[in-house]
Amino acid sequence: LTLVLLFQVENVKLLDRVSPRRSRVGTLYLTATHTIFVENEAGVRNETWVLHSLVCSLEKQAATSSGYPLLIHCKNFQVLHFAIPREQECQDVHLSLQRLSQPESYEELYCFSYKPNVDDEERQNEWDFMNLKADYSRMGLPNAHWKLSPANRNYKVSDTYPADLFVPESATPPVIVGSSKFRSRGRFPTLSYYSKENHAAICRSSQPLSGFSARCLEDEQMLEAILRSNPCSDFMYVVDTRPKLNAIANRAAGKGYENEDNYSNIKFQFIGIENIHVMRNSQQKMLEVCELRSPSMSDFLEGLESSGWLKHIKAVLDAGIFITKAVAEEGVSVLVHCSDGWDRTAQVCSVACVLLDPYYRTLQGLMVLIEKDWISFGHKFSHRCNHLVGDPKEVSPVIDQFLECVWQLMEQFPCAFEFNERFLITIHSHIYSCQYGNFIGNNQRERIQLGTHSLWSYLWTNRTDYINPLYRPDHSQTQGLLRPSTAPYCFKFWRGLYNRFDQGIHPRQSVEDYLRTIQEETQQLEDPGGRLHWWIHHQQPLSAKSTRQQRPHPPAPGLEPDVHLQPLQQQRPRVGDCRLELSFTPQ
């Protein structure tokens, strides 16, 4: 709290970007973890809570007739525009938020002060909920071709890899260690996904340290072992997800890509996904278009096209489709890498898994996939998501792009996914909120022994909120492989994520919520005891019915733009207290 220069400011205006006439006046509170705006309206306590860990940028603007403007951009795409009465108050709030939103150590993050009412045993059970070994077992591993290797126990071969890794049965410890020394950051080729139907595998690694002519016998033996682990194919693909020019430039730094002359029976393929800097700039341009107050149709479409965002989403999907076809249709194993193997590689491998395997299109399956291909394999969440103050050039929306790829697939295959859009948005919000420990740190080694809570357990407990009413398990299973189109007209702008807090621009009725209501009522009518309940419910006035139908796009729990807080036992809520009932305030 020593970072807070001002705890309370009266007569602050919260301006509405879309409808200025809907601006509200209230009191602004600053706590150690949240900024809270409480509207001054008799009889109703409307509150807007913002986690400081979600604050992306702050901007003081020139004074206006409404006061001294302070613009807050958040990582979940919420934009708050306050007008503070006095200049010194605005200065104090700005400086306080700068300090509070830029922690320098992991211990300052919200997940370490977030204390729901669970004991240590329950907290440990939250983490035990996720079992990656069960997923590998589901794939049929270990088997005669693949084994669980102890080589990286205690992270002694690669400190950014998980401790448990599957490698070809014929890969000896000297081959593993030798290959790791020839790969950037020691990230040697290892298994990501295995198809027990045809023995084809998706493996991942970082780029080789080949330069212009260097080679490594152990690395060549490792790829030969991967090839031999698939008895149904006499070659394998090596997919470099970078543009070819970028890969060639890396050769000058002693890195690069595999020389087909040195590796037997490989077919090399460049994909061409741009680097983290291009993606960061692209998303920023796209968000600037989203924040236009009253854009014309041409302004919006031209701005979206100019940002290149959907072009990049298409590139990631195209890469996933290439790997999917190689595995499912050709029966060929694939090795995927980019530079270090934790950004584009994670995107492409996980998109391919969603296309290949119906399990990853379920609630539990998507959580397992993110845990496996992103968290355990060392995607640098703290750097990419700007959890701690650091180099802004390390920030990039890599995980955003994966979640959007899944959403684009859901738009093309609405019956093939067990989860709904709200599930993706909730995951996105908590990746950046730092409320849970899953995404803290840059690799598995850094997360060991963190006394935090798990998002996966929370999502599973509340899974009924995230069920897609259109999901048909039989359809998803029989369809199996998804074959999406990546024609330009198949891509959509994800309004539900990027403009989720601009309530005035969303449809007045959500088809998904309407279908869910019909399902619930049908189930009640099929139950003789439920018919009376249904009849009583429909005798209530409209205002007493569920606000879910009135608010089409409710934000993620705990990260609300507008919530009406009802503390249990009629107590004033404490920041971090999970014993809150959240009901969305109708517009």
- Can 405 be counted among the known catalytic residues? no
d(CA 364, CA 361): 8
**Residue listed under structure tokens 């809150």:** 580
d(CA 433, CA 113): 13
Residue 539's φ and ψ, nearest 5 degrees, are -90, -10
- Residue 481 near residue 356, CB atoms below 8 Å: yes
Between β-strands 165-168 and 563-567, what pairing exists: parallel, antiparallel or unpaired?
unpaired
Q: CB neighbours (10 Å) of residue 501?
A: 22
Q: Which residues have CB under 8 Å from 414's CB, separation 6+?
A: 468, 470
Q: Which of 188, 151, 195 is nearest to 335 (CA)?
A: 188
Q: Which of 259, 384, 270, 393 is nearest to 337 (CA)?
A: 270
- Residue 49 near residue 43, CB atoms below 8 Å: no
DSSP category for residue 115: -
- Residue 405 near residue 316, CB atoms below 8 Å: yes
Maximum distance among all Cα pairs of the chain, rounded to whole angstroms? 79
Check the CA dihedral 571-575-580-584 and report its sign.
positive
Out of 90, 111, 338, 405, the active site residue is 338
Vertex 278 angle, CA 276 and 280, to 5°: 65
Q: CB neighbours (10 Å) of residue 270?
A: 16
Burial of 188 (0-12, 13-18, 19+ CB in 10 A): buried
d(CA 263, CA 217): 9
Residue 91's φ and ψ, nearest 5 degrees, are -65, -45
| Positions marked active-site | 338
